[in-house]
Chain A
């Protein structure tokens, strides 16, 4: 078997990896905004719930979370199929890390902006969505880019709950051929290429945002 013959199964795995990574990044982003905004809210219950969620998921290892959802939850009668479990766990983790990014960027919006909004009698939600968020979102992009790469790398762990992703396919290829060096080199290259694509996409979004519906960022003192 030559290395060319390893490609079809590895590519099939790569598809699964990309699918899991993209969907958990998307769901994670929604969770990140929800929890990040909740954290900055003045409502103690909302911000308390967000705090507990963030601490729980940031403070424990992903593999433990994954096994917990996969092996432990079914014991109390809640079970999902492996793919759902994988996407759910990765989304929750990415969301918890993203929430801190969202919170940090929102807090970094210059205070004068909020005072001006208040002076103009803007409502709280208008201030959040039309004043703070457009400025904060651009600042979040580099950190989100890093989280997206981290998320991609973390997807490798779902192979351990029997999802046939790139790592899983690599493992089965190596078990058949025992040609570890070639199989794992190809696998690493596969992840690297996907990571480069994710980086390009994040750069592109950031560029679009910076150019986007003008907000005179350079103007603030």
Chain B
């Protein structure tokens, strides 16, 4: 019995069906964590990418070092770091927010590389033309650079969304009751791990497949050159 839903362990099939509503609640948490984490990654990644292009060597090198460090260390240890160390500094977040923050931080290192690649792929001549036309930095980014980089970065950003979705189960380690956390709990109470864990895998599989297919469709639909903003 969990969240008011009782399970029926008579056969594997009835067990699987009876725990579906419980896993559904976990799925919601999983999706929320991925959404919050992805939002953080998109914004923080952009900030990192722009700081990396700073004229001050100290700033750009620090940011480069930071992204490399975050990219090359495990999400699980970063999660533990945030979960145990932030409270020492008086920042007490609920486990869910800590988890989403860890996801966002890890993937901001990836997305910042995507943004950077996108910005650098815009030909030099475009920057020079923008300077020649006396455009401000903001105008150059808004009207020249961003519209041209969108088609390049959308597929890569989409792929990271799928990978992030697949990493959310790690949050169950810090007591977030996502799909895997609930499946483990059901396992502990019924001594039946096979069905709940298989169900989690079976729910993830179509989710990631559909997401990948969607990204592929978007990639195909995007124009190969720029996107006019207005």
Instruction: Name the B residues within 8 Å of A62 (CB-CB).
Output: 166
Contacts of A67 in B (CB 8 A): 180, 184, 193, 197
- Could you say which residues of chain B place their CB within 8 Å of the CB of A154? 74
Which residues of chain A from 124 to 176 have any CB-CB distance to chain B below 8 Å in the complex? Answer: 149, 152-157, 159-160, 167, 170-171, 174
> For chain A, which range describes its interface: under 10, 10 to 19, 20 to 34, or 35 or more residues?
35 or more
Q: Is the interface of A mostly helix, strand, loop or mixed?
A: helix
In the complex the two chains form, is A61's CB within 8 Å of B81's CB? no
> Contacts A55-B209, A72-B194, A184-B80 hold; do A191 and B204 have CB atoms under 8 A apart?
no
Answer whether A72 and B73 are a contact pair too, CB < 8 Å, given A62-B166, A64-B204, A157-B170: no
Contact between A192 and B73, CB atoms less than 8 A apart = yes
Q: Is the CB of A63 within 8 A of B170?
A: yes
Chief secondary structure at chain B's binding surface: helix
B170 touches A167 (CB 8 A): no
Which residues of B71-95 are within 8 A (CB) of A? 71-78, 80-81, 84-85, 88
- Verify if B148 is at the interface (C-beta below 8 Å from A): no
Interface string of B112-135 (1 = CB under 8 A from A): 000000000000000000000000
Instruction: Report if B150 contacts A (CB, 8 A).
Output: no
Which residues, 195 to 215 on B, are CB-close (under 8 Å) to A? 197-198, 200-201, 204-205, 208-209
| Interfacial residues, chain A to chain B (CB-CB below 8 A) | 55-56, 58-65, 67-68, 71-73, 75-76, 149, 152-157, 159-160, 167, 170-171, 174, 180-181, 184-185, 187-188, 191-192, 195-196
- B: which residues have CB within 8 A of A? 69, 71-78, 80-81, 84-85, 88, 166-170, 172-173, 180, 184, 187, 192-194, 197-198, 200-201, 204-205, 208-209
List 7 tightest A-B contacts by C-beta distance, closest first: A156-B74, A180-B84, A195-B72, A71-B193, A184-B81, A72-B194, A156-B76
